[in-house]
Amino acid sequence: MFLLVSLDLPFVYNANLDEGRNLFLVYIHCIFVKIYASIPVSKRFFSAKSLNVFELSLDKWEYPKHSHNFFELIFILKGNGQHILNESIFEYTKGDIFLLTPKDEHEFIISEHTDFGFIKFTEQLFIEKTELVSDLKWRKNLDAVVLHANSIPENIISNPTDRSHVFELFRIIKKEYQTPSLYSRSILLELLGALLIIISRNLNKNVAIPTISEEEKVSDILTYIRQNVLDKDAIRIKKIAATFNMSPSYVSVFIKKHAGISIQQYVIQTKIKMAERLLKQTNLNISEIAQKTGFTDSSHFNKLFKKYTGKNPSDF
């Protein structure tokens, strides 16, 4: 089996952020690449906005079963009926909340006039969020919401108090979104962050921790390497092995077997990908890029860049 997470979708390096935050953006980007790679072909709705908040009042659902290029929080403000999500059918009623990822296909069958509330958001919103905060606890909440949302396809909030808080947050977010003023964007990001943390808390309570398969462990190790690629101590074999409760001798064999590449090669490949983006998207010179991506000198960087891409850095 061969497993490598592609980094070929558009990614913008922000030179104003520190390396830790930019690595986090790479991490977010990889999560979304992984999600999009598994999306089935179907009728698909697209949104150019990173955030959209609105309500719909309907007697009949007029949209065929579809998926999106965004995440969607759906609040049932009034009414009842059925929610067809992927291959399952769920009864919905006032007070229910659904979270859909770009993987999901859905439609509603309305039995009683229904008021829906929607918060739609894309990958770009998470990138904006990292520009405001450096707390990597946000990453853990992102993990829970992005990667485990499908584990609870029904109403995602089981705690009555949390449900009340989430609906109140929706009302505040909608008002702030529809009547923007000074600092509205920052306020919206913080409010949505609070909402997602509450969702994360409920997902973590309700989702049974699955046994990690070999494929998931490979993905976790590769993600860890990408997150820490500029930290020499963190990506030493002994440290990786200790982090994932494996022996140092086995972790190298394990990655080579399942990913088709050695850990050292993957580290270099990840750095080269970062360097390639910096060459395309910033005005940094080759020497500065070599330093920022952890290469000892420009000569060494040039040689490896040519080996892995077939091009010279000066070609960009």
Check residue 129 and give its pLDDT.
59
Percent of the chain, pLDDT > 90? 26
Tokens of 194: 């609070």
Q: Look at the domain 44-121 and name its fold.
A: Jelly Rolls (2.60.120)
Residue length of the chain: 316
Chain position carrying tokens 């067809």: 84
Could you give the residue range(s) of every CATH 1.10.10.60 domain in the chain? 214-315
Lowest model confidence (mean pLDDT) among 23-37, 72-86, 233-247: 23-37
Alpha-carbon separation of residue 293 from 25, 101, 173, 267, 270 (angstroms): 15, 32, 39, 11, 9
20 pLDDT band (50/70/90 cuts)?
Answer: low
Element holding 33 (H helix, E strand): helix 19-37
Closest CA to 49 of 69, 32, 76: 69
How far apart CA 86 and CA 104 sit, in angstroms, is: 6
pLDDT digits (tens, 9 = 90+) for 97-110: 998 888 788 999 99
Check residue 79 and give its pLDDT.
97
- Say how far residue 169 (Cα) sits from the centre of its chain: 22
How far apart CA 308 and CA 227 sit, in angstroms, is: 20
This prediction's pTM: 0.52
Check residue 134 and give its pLDDT.
47
How far apart CA 155 and CA 200 sit, in angstroms, is: 13
Tokens of 196: 């997602």
pLDDT digits (tens, 9 = 90+) for 53-66: 999 999 999 988 88
Could you give the residue range(s) of every CATH 2.60.120.10 domain in the chain? 44-121
Alpha-carbon separation of residue 275 from 80, 99, 281, 285, 302 (angstroms): 52, 36, 10, 11, 11
CATH number of this structure's domain 214-315, picked from the four choices 3.60.150.10, 1.10.10.1100, 3.30.470.20, 1.10.10.60:
1.10.10.60
